[in-house]
């Protein structure tokens, strides 16, 4: 049963990436199909994971309501909630050394540099949403750091998919931000959806294993 839901997810993703019509519909079907796969495959699905997937689905739907004045901010808040929930899920399985020393500050440094550089290059184009976007950037970076800590040895290698998924999330949202605030680029919608779907799928796979 689980493999059937996964195949439906991949078919829906293919339709979204390669068929121009009904992209809003196929996008909004992705997360329900992935959630169904998670429930079928996990045995005992974690409520926090289901809430994270539900918040992501809400964000997908809100961001598709183009032209509505509230859609962008509301969609961003929904994904902000999803990242907070994912962070909580990842931190539940973190096993750090008794004396981590400078480990966490050193791991945090690349995320800080990324946020500062990206925000500096984009803030002139962000309009009145600067603070919300900065908060979102911090939240997704903390989520990725939690994913990195979850994958830190002696964690099983499959936990590395959590980190890869979080990086795909950052890539997808970075392309989306450039698309929204600096203008469209060639194949931007393809790469936004491809990296976003990979992010969600890799995270779910790492939580099932």
In the chain, what is the straight-line distance between the N-terminal and C-terminal CA atoms, in Å? 17
Q: Which domain holds residue 55?
A: 2-208
Three-state secondary-structure class, residue 185? coil
113: how many CB neighbours lie within 10 A of its CB?
Answer: 10
Q: What is the DSSP letter of 31?
A: H
CA nearest neighbour of 163 among 53, 75, 86: 86
Q: What is the DSSP letter of 98?
A: S
90: how many CB neighbours lie within 10 A of its CB?
Answer: 27
19: how many CB neighbours lie within 10 A of its CB?
Answer: 10
CA nearest neighbour of 48 among 9, 82, 94: 82
One digit per residue, the tens of pLDDT, for the chain of length 209 reads 899 999 999 999 999 999 988 999 999 999 999 999 999 999 899 999 999 999 999 999 999 987 777 888 899 999 999 999 999 999 999 887 677 778 888 989 999 999 998 888 888 777 777 888 889 999 999 999 999 999 988 899 999 999 999 999 999 999 988 888 777 666 688 999 999 999 999 999 999 96
Count: domains in the chain? 1
């Amino acid at each position: 049963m689980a493999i059937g839901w996964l195949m439906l997810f991949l078919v829906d993703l293919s339709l979204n990436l390669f068929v121009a019509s009904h992209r809003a519909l196929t996008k909004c079907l992705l997360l329900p199909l992935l959630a169904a796969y998670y429930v079928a495959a996990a045995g005992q699905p974690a409520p926090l994971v289901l809430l994270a997937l539900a918040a992501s689905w809400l964000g997908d739907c809100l961001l598709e309501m183009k032209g509505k004045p509230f859609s962008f901010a509301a969609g961003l808040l929904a994904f902000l909630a999803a990242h907070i929930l994912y962070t909580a899920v990842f931190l539940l399985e973190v096993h750090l050394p008794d004396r981590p020393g400078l480990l966490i500050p050193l791991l945090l440094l690349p995320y800080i540099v990324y946020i500062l550089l990206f925000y500096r290059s984009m803030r002139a184009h962000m309009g009145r949403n600067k603070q919300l976007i900065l908060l979102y950037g911090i939240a997704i970076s903390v989520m990725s750091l939690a994913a990195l800590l979850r994958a830190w040895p002696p964690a099983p290698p499959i936990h590395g998919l959590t980190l890869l998924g979080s990086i795909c999330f950052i890539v997808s949202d970075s392309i989306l931000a450039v698309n929204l605030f600096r203008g469209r680029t060639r194949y931007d919608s393809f790469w936004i959806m491809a990296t976003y779907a990979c992010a969600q799928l890799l995270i779910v796979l790492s939580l099932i294993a």
